[in-house]
């Protein structure tokens, strides 16, 4: 009996052992099958999900440096803004579209915009552009039948993106984001930006309810702000979102959502203003919800660029230029002329620093930061508002050139300070050109010395001087005073212009005749110069012929408060703008010659018969100046060049008004600037 019980106990033990073996075997098989499924069948998918669950590295954008005037006034600043990025998740079309619509609703509730580069419109259906070539290319790039109208294009994309919303307005909103995704692409590690400069309410909503919006990430981004509207717009330049071609040129330092300087100081000093971006690591789950984040590399704020521009002088210059153009156009002087544009430059005659540089019409650089509208851009293009006439516009200098002819004649002893030349009205050589005085009064000025000839702007006198010295000498002195060559100012698109010379004629396969020399001696012929060159010329003149270096940048201060050396700044500017330093050998001018020429310029503004006397006769400061009326086809551009105070010049002012009719009209701009600069109580209000 006892043996039977032992056998039964042994059988039970074996059964339990066998059951355990089978269970272990089954569990092992299940584990092996699951492991095979994880590693082989769905390995890529799970690895992708695992990667998504771990970390993603994103950019922490550095604040751009500020741009200041010479007194520390902040012209362009940077503040903290927020953009919204969208990452790819495992959601299908329906889930993605619903997610996008929910995001757009939050943005709309808080008055925030979202990216929308889709040219389709609804209610009614249409295209946002009338350019048929643009529409054709758009259809082709998106695989749409070229014969489709706007409505068919809409429903083609609606189907393509799996948008099920019956409300076409809602469908259009979703479509804008889906279109942006299709154009720029996105992944679980590379997002697409769908909104920028969001309000705090939107930021708060998305932050608090992050789990309700799949794949979103709030990114801190610098917001560039122009604090004074259009003030110094052509100097400051504008920023805009980087283009694909720009992205290809700058390499890996930038990404497609960054701002980059496009024009002006913003362009030239992009390297310094931009700063250095940092890095942020974020943790997300498979649904795109952020589970953690931290900074791995701190961004470095961009350097500040301090200009030589004085905001007060700049404001006065812009106001005076605009007011005078409108006055001329509205018949405020003795005649009416269709004046619409002009430029003015104010230069420190001792240092070559630019205190004001204005071009009219101007523009609002702030509009470019988040993308300017096509309508506004077309408006700016039509009236050439983006064109910086002060450094890019080239014009015949007309009679403002005559001081160079005078100096050339005096320094070569072709004339003396006391010699008088009798103006009969008609010069008897070459094509027998006439003096402007003869055209008006049918007689000449009579006998004039060099100072009187500048005062009365006698063409006959300068025809004779030009004839005596010849074009080669005149060209030499034109070059010395900085005409026909770039000044090297730290701004893009500076024109070199031209000076009249035999070489210029040869380049155009033309012979040089005496008549060209006579025209060149009064600032016509091939002479075409920029307003900035003219300011340099006047500064060299009042300095007794000593060369000056033109600059608009005072200093660059890094985020650690260290200052960039002038040598580094110059080297950087030369590289960016492709400028080569020119070594002009200093010449020594006779003091008596300079004095005679400047005396003539003083008489222009202070003596009856001076061409700008009517403007400056009541001036409380003594100004030296010269008017000029330069022919350009059927237009006459109005010039004024001047300096003050006469006995110890501090600033030179050059103004040009396109189609301004008479140089005396441009003189009013300079008078307003001189009055403001030297007398605080006469400042023109901004």
Q: How confident is the model at residue 188 (pLDDT cuts 50, 70, 90)?
A: confident
Average pLDDT, stretch 43-65? Answer: 68
Over the stretch 217-258, which tens digit does the pLDDT of each residue have?
A: 898 888 999 999 999 999 999 999 898 888 888 877 888 878
**390 Cβ contact partners less than 8 Å away, ≥ 6 residues apart:** 234, 343, 344, 345, 357, 358, 359, 530, 531, 532
Q: What is the pLDDT of residue 288?
A: 58
Buried b (16+ CB within 10 A) or exposed e, 98-126: ebbbebbebbeeeebebbbebbbebeebe
CA 575 to chain centre: 18
Q: What is the pLDDT of residue 509?
A: 93
Helical pair 402-411 and 531-542, crossing angle rounded to 10 deg: 40
What does pLDDT average to over the chain? 91
Distance CA 676, CA 656 (A): 19
Is 554 strand, coil or helix? Answer: strand
- Say yes or no to pLDDT of 36 above 90: no
**309 Cβ contact partners less than 8 Å away, ≥ 6 residues apart:** 69, 70, 75, 232, 235, 354, 355, 356, 357, 552
CB 553 within 8 A of CB 75: no
Q: CA separation (Å) from 67 to 238, 292, 357, 549, 552? A: 12, 36, 15, 22, 12
Q: CA separation (Å) from 399 to 346, 408, 445, 640? A: 20, 15, 16, 9
- Say yes or no to pLDDT of 282 above 90: no
Q: What is the pLDDT of residue 623?
A: 97
Q: What is the pLDDT of residue 27?
A: 76
Over the stretch 480-495, which tens digit does the pLDDT of each residue have?
A: 999 999 999 999 999 9
Average pLDDT, stretch 36-60? Answer: 62
Q: What is the pLDDT of residue 58?
A: 79
Q: What is the pLDDT of residue 10?
A: 59
Task: Say what the pTM is.
Answer: 0.85
CB 275 within 8 A of CB 63: yes
Over the stretch 573-611, which tens digit does the pLDDT of each residue have?
A: 999 999 887 788 899 899 999 999 999 999 999 999 899
Q: What is the pLDDT of residue 40?
A: 64
Q: What is the pLDDT of residue 41?
A: 64
Q: Which residue has the higher pLDDT, 185 or 228?
A: 228
CB 139 within 8 A of CB 146: yes
Distance CA 599, CA 596 (A): 5
- Say yes or no to pLDDT of 7 above 60: no
Q: What is the pLDDT of residue 219?
A: 87
Q: CA separation (Å) from 170 to 78, 101, 167, 459? A: 35, 7, 5, 72
Concatenating the DSSP letter of every residue in 266-325 gives: HHHTHHHHS-B-EEEEEEE-TTS-EEEEEEEE--BPPPEEEES--HHHHHHHHHHHHHHH
Average pLDDT, stretch 452-456? Answer: 97
- Burial classification of residue 453, based on how many CB atoms lie within 10 Å of its CB (0-12 exposed, 13-18 middle, 19 or more buried): buried
Average pLDDT, stretch 260-289? Answer: 86
Q: CA separation (Å) from 112 to 236, 390, 590? A: 28, 38, 68
Concatenating the DSSP letter of every residue in 194-249 gives: EE-S--HHHHHHHHHTGGGSTTEEEEEEEEEEETTTTTTHHHH--EEEPPHHHHHH
Nearest Cα to Cα of residue 580 among 502, 485, 657 = 485
Average pLDDT, stretch 265-272? Answer: 97
- Say yes or no to pLDDT of 680 above 70: no
CB count in 10 Å sphere of residue 74:
15
Q: How confident is the model at residue 52 (pLDDT cuts 50, 70, 90)?
A: very low
- Say yes or no to pLDDT of 468 above 70: yes
Q: What is the pLDDT of residue 682?
A: 45
DSSP H or E stretch at residue 626: strand 624-632
pLDDT > 90: percent of the chain? 74
CB count in 10 Å sphere of residue 30:
10
Q: What is the pLDDT of residue 685?
A: 41
CB 670 within 8 A of CB 642: yes
- Say yes or no to pLDDT of 37 above 70: no
């Amino acid at each position: 009996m006892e043996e039977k019980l032992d056998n039964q106990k042994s059988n039970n033990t074996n059964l339990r052992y066998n059951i355990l073996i089978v269970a272990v075997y089954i569990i092992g098989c299940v584990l092996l099958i699951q492991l095979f499924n994880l590693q082989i069948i769905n390995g890529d998918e799970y690895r992708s999900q695992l990667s998504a669950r771990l970390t993603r590295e994103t950019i922490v954008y550095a604040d751009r440096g500020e741009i200041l005037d010479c007194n520390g006034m902040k012209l362009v600043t940077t503040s903290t803004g927020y953009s919204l990025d969208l990452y790819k998740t495992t959601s299908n079309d329906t889930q993605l579209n619903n997610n996008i619509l929910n995001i757009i609703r939050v943005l709309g509730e808080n008055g925030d915009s979202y990216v929308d580069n889709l040219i389709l419109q609804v209610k009614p259906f249409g295209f946002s552009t009338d350019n048929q070539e643009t529409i054709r290319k758009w259809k082709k790039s998106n695989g749409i039948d070229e014969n489709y109208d706007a409505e068919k294009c809409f429903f083609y994309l609606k189907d393509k993106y799996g948008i099920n919303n019956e409300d076409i307005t809602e469908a259009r909103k979703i479509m804008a984001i889906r279109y942006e995704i299709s154009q720029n692409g996105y992944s679980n590690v590379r997002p697409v930006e769908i909104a920028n400069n969001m309000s705090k309410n939107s930021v708060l909503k998305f932050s608090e309810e992050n789990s309700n919006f799949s794949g979103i990430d709030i990114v801190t981004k610098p917001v560039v702000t122009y604090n004074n509207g259009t003030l110094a717009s052509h100097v400051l330049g504008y920023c805009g979102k980087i283009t694909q071609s720009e992205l290809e040129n700058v390499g890996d330092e930038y990404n497609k959502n960054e701002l980059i300087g496009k024009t002006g100081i913003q362009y030239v000093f992009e390297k310094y203003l931009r700063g250095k971006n940092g890095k942020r690591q974020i943790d997300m789950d498979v649904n795109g919800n952020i589970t953690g984040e931290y900074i791995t590399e701190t961004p470095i704020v961009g350097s500040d660029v301090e200009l030589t521009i004085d905001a007060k002088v700049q404001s006065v210059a812009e106001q005076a230029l605009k007011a005078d153009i409108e006055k001329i156009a509205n018949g405020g002087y003795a005649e009416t002329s269709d004046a619409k544009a002009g430029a003015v430059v104010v230069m420190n005659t001792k240092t070559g620093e630019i205190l004001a540089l204005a071009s009219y019409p101007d523009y609002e650089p702030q509009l470019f930061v988040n993308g300017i509208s096509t309508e506004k851009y077309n408006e700016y293009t039509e009236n050439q508002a983006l064109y910086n006439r002060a450094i890019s516009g080239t014009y015949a200098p007309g009679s403002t050139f005559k001081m160079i002819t005078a100096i050339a004649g005096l320094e070569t002893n072709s004339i003396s300070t006391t010699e008088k030349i009798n103006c009969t009205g008609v010069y008897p050589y070459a094509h027998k050109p006439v003096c402007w005085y003869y055209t008006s009064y049918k007689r000449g000025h009579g006998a004039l010395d060099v100072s009187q000839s500048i005062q009365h702007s006698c063409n006959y006198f300068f025809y004779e001087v030009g004839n005596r010295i010849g074009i080669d000498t005149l060209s030499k002195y034109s070059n010395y005073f900085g005409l026909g060559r770039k000044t090297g100012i730290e701004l893009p698109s500076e024109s070199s212009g031209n000076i009249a010379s035999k070489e210029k004629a040869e380049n155009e396969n033309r012979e040089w005749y005496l008549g060209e020399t006579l025209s060149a001696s009064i600032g016509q012929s091939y002479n075409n110069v920029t307003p900035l060159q003219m300011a340099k010329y006047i500064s060299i003149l009042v300095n007794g012929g000593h060369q000056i270096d033109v600059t608009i940048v005072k200093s660059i201060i890094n985020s650690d408060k260290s200052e960039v050396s002038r040598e580094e700044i110059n080297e950087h500017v030369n590289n960016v703008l492709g400028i080569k330093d020119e070594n002009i050998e200093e010449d020594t001018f006779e003091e008596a010659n300079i004095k005679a020429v400047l005396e003539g310029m003083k008489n222009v503004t202070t003596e009856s018969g001076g061409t700008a006397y009517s403007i400056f006769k009541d001036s409380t400061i003594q100004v030296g100046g010269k008017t000029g009326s330069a022919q350009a086809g059927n237009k006459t551009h109005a010039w004024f060049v001047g300096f003050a105070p006469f006995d110890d010049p501090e600033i030179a002012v050059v103004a040009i008004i396109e189609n301004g009719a008479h140089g005396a009209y441009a003189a009013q701009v300079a008078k307003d600037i001189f009055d403001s600069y030297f007398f605080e109580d006469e400042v023109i209000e901004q």
